[in-house]
Amino acid sequence: MTERKYFGTNGVRGVVGELITNFFVNKLTSAISSFIENKGVVVVGSDARTSSPFIKYAVISTLLSSGIDVIDIGLVPTPLTQFAVRKLKARLGIMITASHNPPQFNGLKVISDDGIEISVEDQIKVEKELEEGDFYFSDWTKLGNVTKINMIDEYIDQIISFVDIDKISKKKMKVVVDGGNGVGSLITPYLFKKLGVKVFSINTTLDGYFPGRGSEPLPHLLTEMARTAKSVNADFSIAHDGDADRAIFGDERGVVYWGDRSIAIFEKMILQDEQNKLFVTPVSSSSVVTDIAEEIGGKVEWTKVGCIYVSRTMQKLNAILGGEENGGLFYSPHVPVRDGAMAGALMANILSTSSSTFSELMNELPQYAQLKDKVQCPNNLKSKVLDAISSRVKGYTELITIDGLKAIYDNGWVLIRPSGTEPIFRIFVEANTMDEAEKLLKEGKKTIKETIESFQ
């Protein structure tokens, strides 16, 4: 983590006019060009933020000046850029987006030729190029060219190829789509329409200020979607973040769920018919995913927190399905990256064959109480403190140390993770009841505080 200065969990991000200036974007893109030895074709897509046009043209200009050909796929969700890189056999993809961040943010996601974001090792290589600052300018006879291609139909058709369009259209479903004023608005309503689903759209006007309900689909902010779903008696509702790689779902009664409950439905309904029942998910996910794995005779593979780790683990283990509690669903027959539109189509597919309603499927899942909190800790003490905590925790049935420390007990679990950016430890707990969760949280916080104090 500490080896990278600019790349975070999802590419390089910052506030426009602070980190993100045309000068910085030129330098970063030059470094990316050097990383691919100023050769090959790069796919460029962007979200609908107010700053995306200036960044996009800075990126394209720099790539062309390095002798790289560019395929400009326009305003698209991040997963569409990832799809396009593979489909067009490009050397790399660059997606201009700050995902779910507030409107003043923007950034670049750099996508490898397999459609997944470049690995942490490659991010370090790009940053090394950036530090060295030895940028290349092509001979004037070898400058790159731009081609504009619209990949939307091809992308939607590929998603549809993984579901049963006849069954879905026969069911005459109704779905509420909350585009969050982001680029998912260009895909998901049309995808459902093609599937024969009646669509009720809200916040589907592109607007870089995200005036509807902000760019992050937090369940408590999706009140308009919930209300609409209830009033039109929709089969389900779906909301995306700013670049539509995430999908948060609501039911026919107007209840909206966190991602780890909807990913458990996908896990159950998709993997029960598959040979490979492996479900890949970060250590922060609810025990619902392990309960379902047990029920269907499957297995959970834990990863570090971050979509890149889920994608790369799925690829390594040939897993079909992965998910994150923030609403990321990864379906590898399509592209092993999180994709909000793919998640929507799969949900329609599940409900077209199920005799249960969405809320009934949700109610069948085990219920847990969850709590989150944080404890201040100086950055230089974090790794020492974490090591010391691991020898202090007792009485667990399993201790997972992939990312921070997750102690699993008979009645729940505690996850303690140092933040990558702030001087804090994050603590997540889950238990059978709220009383037990509160107790686990209190004990966990006490252990962290006492351990920090022992070093001061």
State which residue, 81 or 287, has the beta carbon closest to Mg ion: 81
Q: How far is the CB of 326 from Mg ion (least distance, A)?
A: 9
* Candidate ranges 48-56, 94-102, 109-117, 351-359; the one touching Mg ion (CB under 5 A): 94-102
Spell out, one character per residue from 229 to 248, where the chain touches Mg ion: x when CB under 5 A holds, - when not: ------------x-x-x---
**Looking at beta carbons only, is 245 or 339 nearer to Mg ion?**
245
Report the residue number, 72 or 241, with the smaller CB distance to Mg ion.
241
Per rule CB under 5 A, is residue 117 in the interface with Mg ion?
no
Among 33, 34, 38, 99, binds Mg ion (CB under 5 A): 99
Nearer to Mg ion, 47 or 129 (CB): 47
Q: How many residues bind Mg ion (CB under 5 A)?
A: 4
Among 33, 51, 99, 287, the one annotated catalytic: 99
Looking at beta carbons, which residue is closest to Mg ion? 99
| Cβ closest to Mg ion, residue 47 vs residue 72 | 47
Binding characters for Mg ion, 247-286, by CB under 5 A (x = yes): ----------------------------------------
As a three-state string, the secondary structure of the chain is CCCCCCEECCEEEEEECCCECHHHHHHHHHHHHHHCCCCCEEEEEECCCCCHHHHHHHHHHHHHHCCCEEEEEEECCHHHHHHHHHHCCCCEEEEECCCCCCCCEEEEEEECCCCCECCHHHHHHHHHHHHHCCCCCCCHHHCCCEEECCCHHHHHHHHHCCCCHHHHHHCCCEEEEECCCCHHHHCHHHHHHHCCCEEEEECCCCCCCCCCCCCCCCHHHCHHHHHHHHHCCCCEEEEECCCCCEEEEECCCCCECCHHHHHHHHHHHHHCCCCCCEEEEECCCCCHHHHHHHHHCCEEEEECCCHHHHHHHHHHHCCCEEECCCCEEEECCCEEEECHHHHHHHHHHHHHHCCCCHHHHHHCCCCCEEEEEEEECCHHHHHHHHHHHHHHCCCCCEEECCCCEEEEECCEEEEEEECCCCCEEEEEEEECCHHHHHHHHHHHHHHHHHHHHHCC
Site for Mg ion contains 82 (CB under 5 A): no
Residues 371-390 that bind Mg ion (CB under 5 A): none
User: At its nearest, how many Å lie between Mg ion and the CB of residue 386?
Assistant: 28
When asked if residue 324 is in the footprint of Mg ion (CB under 5 A), the reply is no
Q: Is 99 annotated in the active site?
A: yes
Pick the stretch among 64-72, 99-107, 143-151, 292-300 that binds Mg ion (CB under 5 A). Answer: 99-107
**Residues annotated as catalytic (active site), given as ranges:** 99
Residues in touch with Mg ion (CB under 5 A): 99, 241, 243, 245
